[in-house]
Every structure is written in C-alpha cells, then in structure tokens.
Structure 1
Amino acid sequence: MFDALIRFVREQYRSDDFIPLHAPVFAGRERDYVTDTLDSTFVSSVGAYVDRFERDTAAYTGSPRAVATVNGTAALHIALQLAGVEPGELVITQPLTFVATCNAIAYCSAEPVFIDVDRHTLGLSPGALETWLTDNARVGDDGLCRTRDNGQVIRACVPMHTFGHPADLDGLVDVCARWKLALVEDAAESLGSFYKGRHTGTFGALGTLSYNGNKIITTGGGGMILAGEELGARAKHLTTTAKKPHPYEYVHDELGYNYRLPNLNAALGCAQLEQLEAFIATKRELAARYAAHLAGSELQFVTEPAECRSNYWLNAVICSSHEQRDALLKATNDKGVMSRPIWALMNRLPIYAHCRKGDLSNAEWLEARVVNLPSSVLPKEISE
C-alpha cells in the first residue's frame, strides 16, 4: 500500500527526485515587483507595496482592515493584546496546533487552556468548549468569564483552522458570545478557506494570517491581522512602534512593537496573492486525486468540512493505528517523499504541561494517527 502511495505522489509531481512537503511556487510577477522595490530604494517598512498588500488582503478576505506584520506569531500577539488579554489571565485554545499559537498567548503573560478538537474538522470543538466552561467557569456580575475555583479571568478563545480546514465557526461564535469570550481566529494556515461563503479569520473580534515560506502563499516571512476599522487602526499603531504621525519629530505615545513587514517582503506577497486562486484550484485538484487514490484503503483522507471551501494547505491522512502511522512515515521518508506527523500536543510540551485542560480524547487519537503528505502546488503543465 505504501509503495503504491509513493508511486502515486511521484506521478503527481512527475519527479524521481526528493519531493518536499510544501514548497513555494514563484510563477507570477514576483521578480518584477521585488526589482521595482529595489529600484525605489524603499525596501524596509515604509513603501507602496506594504499599503497595497494590506488593501488587497482586506479586499480578498472581506475584512474591513488588514495590517501586515513581520510574521504570523507577531500578528497573533498583537491580536490578543487588542482583544484585551492581560497578564495572569487565561486564553482557551486547542492542544492540536503549532506552538506559535500558545507562544503568542504566553507573550501576553497569559496562560493557555487546552480544549479538545472535533475529528471531522481537526479544530477546536464547540461541544468540548461548552462542556469545560459549564464545569469550570461562570460569568460574573462584572460580565467577565471566570474560573469557578479561583476567579481567574478567561478572556479569549483562539481556535486554529488546521491544515486550512475551517473549524466549526457557527458553534464557536455562539459559545464565545454566551460566555463573554473574545474570539480570535488563528487562520495562519487557512488563507483562501471559506466557511459558509465567508473567509476564515473574519468571524471573531480579530483574525491572523501567516505568510511563512511553507504557507499557501509566502512573503518569505510575514503575517497579517484582520480586524474592524477601529481595532485595525490600533493594530497598525502598535505594530509600527506606536509612533504618532509627524513630519519630523519622533513621538511614541505608548509601548509599541517593531513588527512591521518590510516593503521587500510585501512586494513578494502582492505577486503571490495575484496567484492565490490558481494555487487553490491546483491544490484542490491534488486533494481530489489523493481522495480517489486512497478510497477503500486503510488510510482515511481528511476532507473539508461540510459547507466549507478549504485551501487544502496540507493534505492529511488518518492511519488506522500509531504503528501504521510510524510505518508510513518511515516508508515515505526513506524513499525521498517527505511526510510529517501532526504536531505533538501542546500540553505535552514542558513549557505548557502545567496548564489547565479538558478531556483531550480526540486530539490524542488524532496525534497518534495523522500524517501529512506532499502538498505543493502542482506545476502548471501537470495540473492542466
């Protein structure tokens, strides 16, 4: 079975060489825009491409405002601050995520609470969230959600759209509204993914995107905050060292951050964004081919949730057991076809092992079985 899968992957990319998990594709006007930036000499954090990248991203996602940052973790850090997260508070998230989600919470001197995921979305479960809050929290007379045992404030909830598949946003929006939690979406992996016709990252108070080199489009390194006009303006101020506009004076009116995306990176992002829909089309075609090839096998291909359009950033299969997972990882990597397991659960990491958590049965089940397979955009001549 594994040999057939390896042959299938090589047939998709028409290559006998090493096949990476997800490589960037530069097939548009990247060189033109980057060269234009070099010629302008505006290569740092001030330049026309930064403004354009923000405008184009806002238009594509339907967000009132988009604010570019140096990476996705920085975007999430500022989003959490703007959501009101303060030192000593709790922020609910899922254990099945990349460590940056939790690190951004820790940057606020807050602490994550780990709640289980749904198997069909791989994202934070509204049902598990409701159960944990009912058993462990209350909404006080001050309108704040607090723990029952010591009154610690639970300020926000951060779902992550795993591998580009939207979490159950209707359910999460409902639970967060009733329990007075700020919803901040970690949409780092889901640019181009839509939940019931609406782009991920636009359902909560704020959302964040990532443009790391392995994402569906890249700026080399970069991120974006999605927000309404008021919070978006605050995000722009905080990420640009909190400098007040002035013709020549340096006036900084609060603690700010040098989280600005350089114009050089934004130029790359503008060219990449122009190709996003074409990238998604080929990735969805690749996902359909995986699903057809694996139909009836022991490997269950992970498909998009109902009423969603996933970007299929990373293709994933669920193995029948942990032993089969390890065998698949060894077989593919030994043959030069890159595959990776899902992340170790965040509550297993020493830095977060002390954090509160609910029952994590689904996350633990998935951790033992999920494998990511090569997911790069197919070359144009192959995808057609």
Structure 2
Amino acid sequence: MTQSSAAAVQTSALADRILAAVREVLGPTDGVMPLHEPEFRGREWDYVKDCLDTGWVSSVGGYVDRIEADLARIAGVERAVAVANGTAALHICLDLVGVKPGDEVLIPDLTFIATANAVSYAGARPHFVDSEPVSLGVDAGRLEAHLQAVAELREGVCHNRATGAPIRALVVMHAFGHPCDLDAIEAVTVRWNLALVEDAAESLGSLYKGAHTGGRGRVAALSFNGNKVVTTGGGGAILTNDAELGRRAKHLTTTARVPHRWSFIHDQIGYNYRMPNLNAALGCAQLERLDDMIRRKRDLAARYAAAFKEVQGVRFLAEPEGTHSNYWLNAIVLDDADLESRDRVLERLNDAGYMSRPIWTLMHRLPMYADCPRADLVVAERLEATVINLPSSPKLVDA
C-alpha cells in the first residue's frame, strides 16, 4: 500500500468514527438535518400579528423600545440600540470609537467576513492577528508580541511603523459563542491605547467570568440573523456602558435626524440602519425563551462532548474555563491539519444528511484583503484546516 493510499484509509476510518458519534447524538435522519434552524415556540405569532393589526410595522414602535430594554437588561449594559443587522452594528461601533479613513483596525484573521467588511465600510484597513486554539478568539500573548514587533506609541496613539497608519482599535470576536480571554486582551489594549470593540454577534447569552459578553469593550455588536440563537429575521444591536455613546449610536442609526414634530433636519451624515418594529416583535418573543434555548443547546453540546470523548483523532471544542458558552455552533477539531482530510470528513457527514461546514476561509486569503497587514497566523491557519461545525439547533436535543 502506498503512503497516499494509507492516508486515505486512515481518513476514511476517521470519517466513519465521526459519523458514528454524530449519529449517536442526533439519531438517524431521512433528509438533511440543517446546521442551525430558527425556533418559534413562544409568542412570535401574537407579537407579529399585533404589529399587523395596529399598523406599526416599520422603524418606530413599542417593540423596538422593548427589545432595546430587554437586551440592555440581559447583557447588563447601560444601553442597547437595535439596528438592521450585525454588520451595521459593527460599522457604527467603529465610528463610535473614533475609527477614521486611513486607520488600521486589528481583527482576527479567523472570523466571518462581516468583521473585515465593517472595517472597510469605515474607510479603514483590516490588520489581521492570530487566534488561540481554546476559544478560537484573539491570542493576547501573540498579539502583544506582534505589536512589539511592528507598532509604536506616538503621543499616545498606536501606529504601524511600516505603514505609518494609526492603529485605532482592536475587534475581538467570540467564535461560536465561546468567550475569548477578555482579561488578557483588555490588558493589551490598555498598554497600546487601543479601543476595544466586541464582535459578540454569536455570543448572546454567553458569560465570561459571570458577566455577559459585550460589556467589556467600549461598544459591542450583536447579530440576530436567521441562524443565530435569537433571530429577528435580520437584525442586530449595539451594546455600550457609555450613555453618550449610546445616544450617539441611536442618532447615527436613525439617519441623524434631529427630533421635531414635522421638520426633517439632519445634523450629520447618518445611516438608515433602524430595526423595523415587525422584526423587533419577533425578537421580543424570542428573548422570552432565551434561557430555555441556551439550556437545551448546552445539553446538546454535553451530548456531543460525551460522544466524542473516546473518538481518536478529534476533540470536541468545549467552552474555555471560566466561561459559560451559548454553544451557538458545536464544533470538533481534527488532530491533523490537512484540508483534504477535513473535506473528506465534511463530505461523509453531508452525504449522510448531517449538514456540516468548515470554519471560515481566513480573511487574508480573500482577494480584497490579500494585501492587508498581518501578523504570523500559524494557529489560525491550522484551525482553518481542522475545525468542523455540526448540527446545533436547540430542538435537536428534544429528540
């Protein structure tokens, strides 16, 4: 047997073991089991019908006020501002912390495209940094080493020595709902005078050392896309503990209109990023059941963890110590970093009806971001070749 043939046999055996573990958790499927389905078991019909009955379906209405109050309470922050989607939320977050055209913004190379696109919308340039293998979030130690190598403080402002551009902010992303190491990351941002922004799009309901994600950065962004734990169809929110930033967030996302009974006066360039009342109504009903959905998602994660405990060649991605993850998407990590082997496992799972996917293509591999500054990305590159997401809908635990 040739070396390549032996490798193919080993990969096939690994795929069989993984498929058997998934079947043990989820049972058989006679169709396609989606990666993450929305769940409507509460008062969604009642609240949406109320919008239709009263005519309050657009960007003003009681459900918008209510979802903002609910989110602020759940996240334990001063203010929440509901917006059209998570990318819009992140765009405004960058504006609020002073990111300007020509600046650089540090972001993980291992993230969803929206993180990098929001930086571009602000006229800034992404500067990619590495992740660590426990949370998949930004590695604070490697970030510090990278800044020591490429950056300097000039009159209190961090600059890239090679490009001369100010490095204004660091965006961290809580991958799959697992909080990253905020204590260590915050210490780096203080040393280098960087604004900390949390991309908490995937981590609604997740806790870091007992506190909800989204409250450590100056601002944070949430997403309520159809595949998130809580959905408004499409939607997002900005979180902050700074009352003035909250006021500005609301003003910017409502076209910067100065309140008046009839006149349309706008005092700066704003954005029509408002969340419609119809979507907010759906979200209010979803938030009423957040605790139950997270409980069942964590139960599903525990079943995956048990099933994969003795499976050689793979580990289940568990929440980092000191955190309480919503386990938005369950993930496994292959021992061997080989894209071909990863794709064979994905093929086996999807052919069997269990929708599975790889982690995102690294940002620096995309053509529009190929020339952006970046750190050594050895960990992110390994994770790209080894992480696989598995079906994670909360209703799967019911079966």
Same fold (TM > 0.5): yes
SS at match of 1:157: strand
Q: Deviations over 1:168-220 (max 9, x none)?
A: 10011110011000000000000000100111111011001000000011000
What amino acid sits opposite 2:317 in the alignment? V
Q: Deviations over 1:80-135 (max 9, x none)?
A: 00010000000001010000000000001100111100111100111111011111
SS at match of 1:351: helix
Q: Which residue of 2 aligns with 1:4?
A: 20
Q: Which residue of 2 aligns with 1:46?
A: 60
Q: Which residue of 2 aligns with 1:191?
A: 204
| 8 Å CA contact 1:10, 1:16 repeated in 2 | no
Q: Are residue 262 (structure 1) and residue 276 (structure 2) matched?
A: yes
SS at match of 2:57: coil
Deviation at 1:3, TM superposition (A): 3.7
| 8 Å CA contact 2:106, 2:169 repeated in 1 | yes
Matches within 5 A, 1:155-166: 155-166=168-179
Deviation at 1:2, TM superposition (A): 3.5
Aligned length: 379
What amino acid sits opposite 1:372 in the alignment? N
Q: Deviations over 1:215-251 (max 9, x none)?
A: 0110000000001211000000000000011011111
Matches within 5 A, 1:270-281: 270-281=284-295
Match of residue 312, structure 1, among 305, 314, 327: 327
Deviation at 1:17, TM superposition (A): 2.7
What amino acid sits opposite 1:290 in the alignment? Y
Deviation at 1:324, TM superposition (A): 3.2
SS at match of 1:183: strand
| 8 Å CA contact 1:299, 1:319 repeated in 2 | yes
Deviation at 1:149, TM superposition (A): 2.9
Counterpart-to-counterpart distance in 1, 2:397 and 2:25: 16
TM-score by length of 1: 0.97
TM-score by length of 2: 0.93
Q: Which residue of 2 aligns with 1:218?
A: 231
Counterpart-to-counterpart distance in 2, 1:371 and 1:151: 38
Q: Are residue 375 (structure 1) and residue 389 (structure 2) matched?
A: no
| 8 Å CA contact 2:26, 2:396 repeated in 1 | no
Match of residue 118, structure 2, among 96, 104, 113: 104
Q: Deviations over 1:36-73 (max 9, x none)?
A: 11111010000000000000000000010000000000
Counterpart-to-counterpart distance in 2, 1:44 and 1:368: 43
Q: Are residue 330 (structure 1) and residue 347 (structure 2) matched?
A: yes
Q: Which residue of 2 aligns with 1:64?
A: 78
Q: Are residue 131 (structure 1) and residue 132 (structure 2) matched?
A: no
What amino acid sits opposite 2:145 in the alignment? T
Q: Are residue 146 (structure 1) and residue 163 (structure 2) matched?
A: no
Counterpart-to-counterpart distance in 1, 2:398 and 2:148: 54
| 8 Å CA contact 2:226, 2:234 repeated in 1 | yes
Q: Deviations over 1:307-332 (max 9, x none)?
A: 00000000000012324322210001
| 8 Å CA contact 1:71, 1:223 repeated in 2 | yes
Counterpart-to-counterpart distance in 1, 2:163 and 2:35: 45
User: Which range moves more in the overlay, 169-178 or 324-333?
Assistant: 324-333
What amino acid sits opposite 1:10 in the alignment? L
What amino acid sits opposite 2:224 in the alignment? Y
Q: Which residue of 2 aligns with 1:170?
A: 183
Deviation at 1:379, TM superposition (A): 5.5
Deviation at 1:152, TM superposition (A): 1.2
What amino acid sits opposite 1:304 in the alignment? E
Counterpart-to-counterpart distance in 2, 1:118 and 1:6: 26
Counterpart-to-counterpart distance in 1, 2:19 and 2:86: 37
SS at match of 1:159: strand
Q: Which residue of 1 aligns with 2:88?
A: 74
Counterpart-to-counterpart distance in 2, 1:225 and 1:62: 13
Q: Which runs of 5+ in 2 are unaligned?
A: 1-16
Percent identity for Structure 1 against Structure 2: 56
Counterpart-to-counterpart distance in 2, 1:152 and 1:256: 26
| 8 Å CA contact 1:116, 1:363 repeated in 2 | yes
Q: Deviations over 1:349-371 (max 9, x none)?
A: 00000000111010001000100
SS at match of 2:265: coil
What amino acid sits opposite 1:346 in the alignment? M
SS at match of 1:207: strand
Q: Are residue 95 (structure 1) and residue 109 (structure 2) matched?
A: yes
Deviation at 1:380, TM superposition (A): 7.3
Counterpart-to-counterpart distance in 2, 1:25 and 1:59: 22
| 8 Å CA contact 1:302, 1:317 repeated in 2 | yes
Q: Which runs of 5+ in 1 are unaligned?
A: none
SS at match of 1:175: helix
Match of residue 318, structure 2, among 290, 295, 303: 303
| 8 Å CA contact 1:159, 1:185 repeated in 2 | yes
Change (3 A) 1:117 1:381: closer
Deviation at 1:151, TM superposition (A): 2.6
Counterpart-to-counterpart distance in 2, 1:259 and 1:290: 38
Q: Are residue 355 (structure 1) and residue 349 (structure 2) matched?
A: no
What amino acid sits opposite 2:293 in the alignment? F
SS at match of 2:173: coil
SS at match of 2:395: coil
Counterpart-to-counterpart distance in 2, 1:352 and 1:327: 28
